[in-house]
Amino acid sequence: MAKEGRVPFAFQEETWQYILEGRAGLVNAPTGCGKTYSVFLGALIDFINRHPDNYQKKGSSGLQLLWVSPLRALAKDIGRAMEEVIRGLGMQWQVGIRNGDTDPSERQRQKRRMPEVLIITPESLHLLLAQKGYPEVFKSLKIVAVDEWHELLGSKRGVQVELALSRVAGVKARELSIIGISATIGNLEQAKEVLLASLGDGEGWAAGEVRHFIVRAQIDKPIDVESILPDEIEKYPWAGHLGLRLIHKVIPILEKSRTTLIFINTRGMSETWYQSLLTACPDLAGAIALHHGSIDMALRNWVEDALHEGKLKAVVCTASLDLGVDFRPVETVIQVGSPKGVARFLQRAGRSGHQPGQVSKIYFLPTHSLELMEAAALKSAMQEGLIENREPMLLCFDVLIQYLGTLAISEGFYPAQLFRELKSTYCYSEMTEDEWMEILHFITEGGVALQQYDEYRKVEVMEDGLYKINSRRVAMRHRLHIGTIVSDSMLKVRFVSGGYVGVIEEYFISRLSPGDVFTLAGRNLEFVMIKDMTALVRKSNAKKAIVPSWNGGRMPLSANLGMMLRRKLDEASRMLEGSGRTGEGLAMDEQGVNAKRKTGREGEVAIVGRKGIDVELRVLRPLFELQAELSYMPKENELLIEQIETRDGFHLFVYPFEGRLVHEAMAALLAYRISRTVPISFTFAMNDYGFELLSDQPIPLDDSNAYELFSPDDLTADIQRSVNSAEMARRKFRDVAVIGGLIFQGYPGEYAKARHLQSSASLLFNVFSEYDPHNLLIRQAYNEVMDQQMEERRLRNMLERIAAGKIVLRWPGKLTPFCFPLKVDSMREDLSSEKLEDRIKKMQAQLR
Amino acid sequence: MQPAFPYRIKGQQLWLSPDRCIFWEEERSLILSDLHFGKTGHFRKAGIAVPQSIYREDLLRLLCQIQYFQPRQLLVVGDLFHSKENKELALFLKWREDFPDLGIRLIEGNHDILHEDWYKKAGIEVCSPVLEIGPFAFIHDITDESVEKSADPAADGRGIVGTPYYFSGHIHPGIRIRGMGRQSLQFPCFYFGADYAILPAFGLFTGTVSVEPAADAQVFAILPPSGERGWAAGERGRTPGERGTAPGERGMVHRREAVGPAVSGNMDRRRMPMARPWSSGVKGPGSILQIQ
Encode pLDDT of A46-103 as tens digits. Answer: 999 999 988 888 888 899 999 999 887 778 888 988 999 999 999 999 999 998 778 8
Q: What is the pLDDT of residue A846?
A: 53
The answer to whether the CB atoms of A455 and B270 lie below 8 A apart is no
CA angle A298, A299, A300 (to 5 degrees): 90
CB-CB: which of A675, A744, A832 is closest to B48?
A744
What are the E-state strand segments in A75-120? 95-98, 117-120
| Contacting residues of A for B250, CB less than 8 Å apart | none
Q: Is A678 on the interface with B (CB under 8 A)?
A: no
Domain contains A548: no
Domain boundary among A185, A216, A247: A216
Domain contains B146: yes
β A534-539/A490-495 pair status: parallel
Do A669 and A527 sit in the same domain of this protein?
no
- Contacts of residue A136, Cβ cutoff 8 Å, sequence gap at least 6: none
Find out whether A19 and A143 touch, Cβ atoms under 8 Å.
yes
CATH number at residue B129: 3.60.21.10
Q: How distant is the Cα of A70 from the closest Cα of chain B, in angstroms?
A: 27
The answer to whether the CB atoms of A489 and B241 lie below 8 A apart is yes
Check residues A830 and A172 and name the one with the higher pLDDT.
A172
Domain contains B77: yes
Question: d(Cα A476, Cα A605) in Å, to the nearest integer?
Answer: 51
A410: domain range? 397-484+729-786
Q: How distant is the Cα of B112 from the closest Cα of chain A, in angstroms?
A: 11
Do A260 and A364 sit in the same domain of this protein?
yes
Q: What is the pLDDT of residue A678?
A: 83
| Contacting residues of B for A453, CB less than 8 Å apart | 41, 52, 87-88, 90-91
Q: What does the mean pLDDT of chain A come to?
A: 83
Do A457 and A414 sit in the same domain of this protein?
yes
A148: left (phi over 0), alpha (psi -120 to 50) or beta: left
Question: Per the structure, how many domains does chain B have?
Answer: 1
Q: How distant is the Cα of B83 from the closest Cα of chain A, in angstroms?
A: 7
Question: d(Cα B108, Cα B255) in Å, to the nearest integer?
Answer: 31
Looking at residue B156, its amino acid is: D
Q: What percent of chain B has pLDDT over 70?
A: 69
Say what the ipTM of the complex is.
Answer: 0.76
Residue in B43, B50, B83 to test binding to A, most A beta-carbons within 10 Å: B50
Q: What percent of chain A has pLDDT over 70?
A: 86
Question: d(Cα A326, Cα A353) in Å, to the nearest integer?
Answer: 10
- If one counts every other C-beta atom within 10 angstroms of the C-beta of residue A205, the result is 14
The answer to whether the CB atoms of A772 and B241 lie below 8 A apart is no
Rg (CA), chain B: 19
- Confidence check: pLDDT of A658 > 80: yes
- Confidence check: pLDDT of A446 > 80: yes
CA angle B184, B188, B190 (to 5 degrees): 120
Q: What is the pLDDT of residue B239?
A: 28
What are the E-state strand segments in A398-483? 460-461, 467-468
Residue A703's DSSP bridge partners are none
The answer to whether the CB atoms of A442 and B49 lie below 8 A apart is yes
The answer to whether the CB atoms of B264 and A832 lie below 8 A apart is yes
CB-CB: which of B51, B256, B269 is closest to A767?
B51
Domain contains B47: yes
The answer to whether the CB atoms of B87 and A454 lie below 8 A apart is yes
Domain contains A551: no
Q: What is the pLDDT of residue A724?
A: 61
Question: d(Cα A261, Cα A365) in Å, to the nearest integer?
Answer: 13
Do A230 and A192 sit in the same domain of this protein?
no
Do A230 and A379 sit in the same domain of this protein?
yes
Q: Is A442 on the interface with B (CB under 8 A)?
A: yes
Domain contains B123: yes
Question: d(Cα A153, Cα B212) in Å, to the nearest integer?
Answer: 45
Do A309 and A359 sit in the same domain of this protein?
yes
The answer to whether the CB atoms of B270 and A682 lie below 8 A apart is no
Question: Per the structure, how many domains does chain A have?
Answer: 5
Do A383 and A445 sit in the same domain of this protein?
no
Nearest to A116 by CA among A93, A98, A145: A93
| Contacting residues of A for B52, CB less than 8 Å apart | 448-450, 453-454
The answer to whether the CB atoms of B249 and A770 lie below 8 A apart is yes
Q: What is the pLDDT of residue A5?
A: 55
Rounded average pLDDT over A545-571: 81
pLDDT tens digits for range A742-760: 887 665 544 444 567 777 8
- Confidence check: pLDDT of A596 > 90: no
Domain contains B28: yes
Q: Is A438 on the interface with B (CB under 8 A)?
A: no
- In which band, very low, low, confident or very high, does the pLDDT at A646 lie, cut at 50, 70 and 90? confident
Q: What is the pLDDT of residue A790?
A: 67
| Contacting residues of A for B87, CB less than 8 Å apart | 452-455
- Confidence check: pLDDT of A602 > 50: no
| Contacting residues of B for A649, CB less than 8 Å apart | 180-182
Q: How distant is the Cα of A711 from the closest Cα of chain B, in angstroms?
A: 21
Question: d(Cα A691, Cα A668) in Å, to the nearest integer?
Answer: 10
The answer to whether the CB atoms of B46 and A477 lie below 8 A apart is yes
| Contacting residues of A for B242, CB less than 8 Å apart | 758-760
Do A705 and A762 sit in the same domain of this protein?
no
The answer to whether the CB atoms of A761 and B245 lie below 8 A apart is yes
Domain boundary among A786, A816, A832: A786
Q: What is the pLDDT of residue B228?
A: 37
pLDDT tens digits for range A28-47: 987 666 788 889 999 999 99
Q: Which of A592-606, B65-79, B257-271 has the lowest mean pLDDT?
A: B257-271
With CA atoms as reference, the chain B residue closest to A832 would be: B264
pLDDT tens digits for range A687-742: 889 999 988 889 999 999 999 999 999 887 887 776 566 777 888 888 899 899 88
Do A439 and A528 sit in the same domain of this protein?
no
Do A259 and A133 sit in the same domain of this protein?
no
Nearest to A127 by CA among A110, A113, A144, A140: A110
Q: Is A213 on the interface with B (CB under 8 A)?
A: no
Question: d(Cα A551, Cα A561) in Å, to the nearest integer?
Answer: 24
β B218-223/B184-192 pair status: antiparallel
Residue B218's DSSP bridge partners are B192
- In which band, very low, low, confident or very high, does the pLDDT at B162 lie, cut at 50, 70 and 90? low
Domain contains A19: yes
Question: d(Cα B32, Cα B198) in Å, to the nearest integer?
Answer: 10
pLDDT tens digits for range B236-263: 232 223 333 233 322 222 222 233 332 2
Q: What percent of chain A has pLDDT over 90?
A: 38
Domain contains A544: no
Nearest to A385 by CA among A342, A345, A350: A342
Do A257 and A311 sit in the same domain of this protein?
yes
The pTM for the full model equals: 0.81
- In which band, very low, low, confident or very high, does the pLDDT at B133 lie, cut at 50, 70 and 90? very high
CB-CB: which of A448, A681, A685 is closest to B53?
A448
- Confidence check: pLDDT of A159 > 80: yes
pLDDT tens digits for range A359-411: 888 999 998 888 899 999 999 988 888 888 888 999 999 999 999 999 999 99
B86: domain range? 5-170
- Give the count of alpha carbons within 13 A of A738, CB side only: 21
Do A242 and A346 sit in the same domain of this protein?
yes
pLDDT tens digits for range B90-105: 999 999 999 999 999 9
Find out whether B4 and B16 touch, Cβ atoms under 8 Å.
yes
With CA atoms as reference, the chain A residue closest to B251 would be: A770
Q: What is the pLDDT of residue B246?
A: 31
- Confidence check: pLDDT of B167 > 50: yes
Q: Which of A433-437, A490-494, A739-743, B190-194 has the lowest mean pLDDT?
A: A490-494
| Contacting residues of B for A767, CB less than 8 Å apart | 50-51, 54, 204-205, 249
The answer to whether the CB atoms of A829 and B83 lie below 8 A apart is no
CATH number at residue A35: 3.40.50.300
The answer to whether the CB atoms of B87 and A488 lie below 8 A apart is no
Q: Is A441 on the interface with B (CB under 8 A)?
A: no
Rounded average pLDDT over A110-134: 93
Q: Is A724 on the interface with B (CB under 8 A)?
A: yes
Domain contains A602: yes
Nearest to A409 by CA among A465, A458, A464: A458
The answer to whether the CB atoms of B46 and A474 lie below 8 A apart is yes
Domain contains B230: no
